[in-house]
Amino acid sequence: MSGGRPRTAIGTYGAVYVMRKADRCVAETRFRDIDGRLRKVTATASSPTAAKALLKERLLNRSGYGSGGVLTLASRFGDLVELWLADLELQELAEGTKQSYRDQVRLHVLPAFEHFTLGEITTGRVDSFLKSQAAVSHSRARQSRTMLNLLFGFALRHDAMPRNPVEGTCALRKQKSQPQALTLAQIAAIRVAATNWRAEPGRPGPKPDGQVRDIIEVLLGTAMRTGEVLALRPCDIEDRPTGMVVAVTGTVVQRKGQGAVRQDRPKSDASIRRIPVPEFAAAVLRRRLTGVPPGRTIFANRSAGPLSPYNVRRTFREFLADAGLGDSGISLRWYRRTGATVIARGLGSDAAAVFLGHTSTAITEGHYIERDHTIDLTPAAHLERTLRPDSPDGALLILPPAVGEEEVLATVDGDPDVGDVA
């Protein structure tokens, strides 16, 4: 049926009427609540203008009738954050991911919007905030955008907002750059610095235990995430006649109040994998395995607990400074990127993605039954020939990028190590 008065939209009100009763003025309108029903709302004041102003204030602060009023447009942004964080605890996410979300909201998102109500957070305000974050770094802006989408998605599910204000903001544009792998010269310089770190004759204090030096060799030879290497145990390693194979079954995460702990699952299901190890990295692991109990991590602190990713990164930065690479921008992630580059150029980007644990492949039922026998040792051979300490062959690193290589390497940059969260 057409014609007649148009229906008042949910969350809005109709015309405002003002009537005088004795020496007071009464403003009234009808508000359509989120349960679809129209209800009269009134306000009384000494003048028509004051009555209208009071009525609009009541409409703005009107609770969500029919939803329990948990969140409304008049709710503080901090109330939304508090409820969302409580809901986050119930979700089946890795503790490292949860902590990363908490930190992103606490450090960057909440300070920008804590003095606004949900109704006051417009697309323009969000766009301005994201641009200010992008001025700091593209990664910061992208993470903040993700947090806002999660928060406002939660508000939408509680009927507290009519739309997500992140929608309509400008796209976050990142200057396109070719992901870089380590050069053989850089690898050699860092190796020398790691070997000589704090080893000067007569230097006071305890001698270095060489763990970080060995960790970067394993990172180079396996392209694993830092947390995955720190989580390796003797029971995760199988030394076969054909070569060593490691099982990635967990990661080390940093938890507030607990320090570094081993989490019995890596970043994702695809990250649970078995990978072959080139001989130069296998030799390091064999040496480190001596005397280590089966259930303890191979790389451990003085209390036999897992090494902290923070401490590993700090020591690695000292290696870089000693190697004259302190301002190079190199991080531990470059080792994963380098391994991915070698495999992509030797075997293709699909093989590199599987080796990194970014994707899963269609494996037959027979492969599941005897999956140990299906491990391809070719990636380890390419890594051994290219990155071994003695007489490395850099032929693969100087080849043009493989088809799809850039996309694979970009996932390394956008794939935070679970062990790296604050």
- pLDDT tens track for 10-35: 777 888 999 998 889 999 999 887 67
Q: Of 157, 192, 221, which marks where a domain is finished? A: 157
Q: How far apart are CA 232 and CA 248, in angstroms?
A: 7
Alpha helices in 158-300 (DSSP H): 184-196, 211-222, 226-230, 279-289
Tokens at residue 234, please?
A: 């003797």
Say if residue 12 is in the same domain as residue 96. no
Q: Which amino acid is at 148?
A: L
Q: Kindly tell me the burial class for residue 363, based on how many C-beta atoms sit within 10 Å of its own C-beta (0-12, 13-18, 19 or more).
A: exposed
Q: How far apart are CA 111 and CA 108, in angstroms?
A: 6
Say if residue 217 is in the same domain as residue 272. yes
Domain count along the chain? 3
Asked if residue 178 belongs to a domain, the reply is no
Say if residue 284 is in the same domain as residue 352. yes
Q: Which amino acid is at 96?
A: G
C-alpha angle 56-57-60 in degrees, rounded to nearest 5: 85
Angstrom distances, CA of residue 81 to CA of 113, 114, 143, 211: 10, 9, 16, 41
Say if residue 153 is in the same domain as residue 262. no
What is the tens place of the pLDDT at every residue in 206-265?
788 999 999 999 999 999 999 999 999 999 999 989 899 999 999 998 887 788 889 887
What is the tens place of the pLDDT at every residue in 400-418?
888 888 877 777 765 655 4
DSSP state for residue 249 in the 8-state scheme: -
pTM above 0.85, yes or no: no
Contact assessment for residue 225 and residue 267, using Cβ atoms and an 8 Å cutoff:
yes
Say if residue 202 is in the same domain as residue 315. yes
Higher-confidence residue of 65 and 325: namely 325
* CATH number of the domain to which 1 belongs: 3.30.160
* Structural domain that includes position 110: 77-157
Tokens at residue 302, please?
A: 């003085």
Asked if residue 165 belongs to a domain, the reply is no
Angstrom distances, CA of residue 4 to CA of 1, 332, 394: 9, 68, 79
Say if residue 149 is in the same domain as residue 226. no
Instruction: Give the gyration radius of the chain's Cα atoms.
Output: 29
C-alpha angle 332-334-337 in degrees, rounded to nearest 5: 130
Say if residue 346 is in the same domain as residue 402. yes
CA torsion sign for 58, 59, 61, 63 is positive
Contact assessment for residue 333 and residue 340, using Cβ atoms and an 8 Å cutoff:
no
Among 118, 50, 27, 47, residue whose Cα is nearest residue 80: 118
Say if residue 20 is in the same domain as residue 146. no
| Beta strand ranges found along 249-316 (DSSP E) | 251-255, 259-263, 273-277
What is the tens place of the pLDDT at every residue in 252-303?
988 877 888 898 877 777 778 889 999 999 999 999 998 898 889 999 998 9
Q: How far apart are CA 42 and CA 365, in angstroms?
A: 69
Angstrom distances, CA of residue 332 to CA of 49, 94, 189, 224, 315: 65, 22, 15, 10, 11
Say if residue 83 is in the same domain as residue 58. no
Say if residue 250 is in the same domain as residue 298. yes
Asked if residue 176 belongs to a domain, the reply is no
Phi/psi of residue 91, each to 5°? -85, 150
Q: How far apart are CA 263 and CA 305, in angstroms?
A: 12
Residue 66 has pLDDT above 80, yes or no: no
Say if residue 352 is in the same domain as residue 399. yes
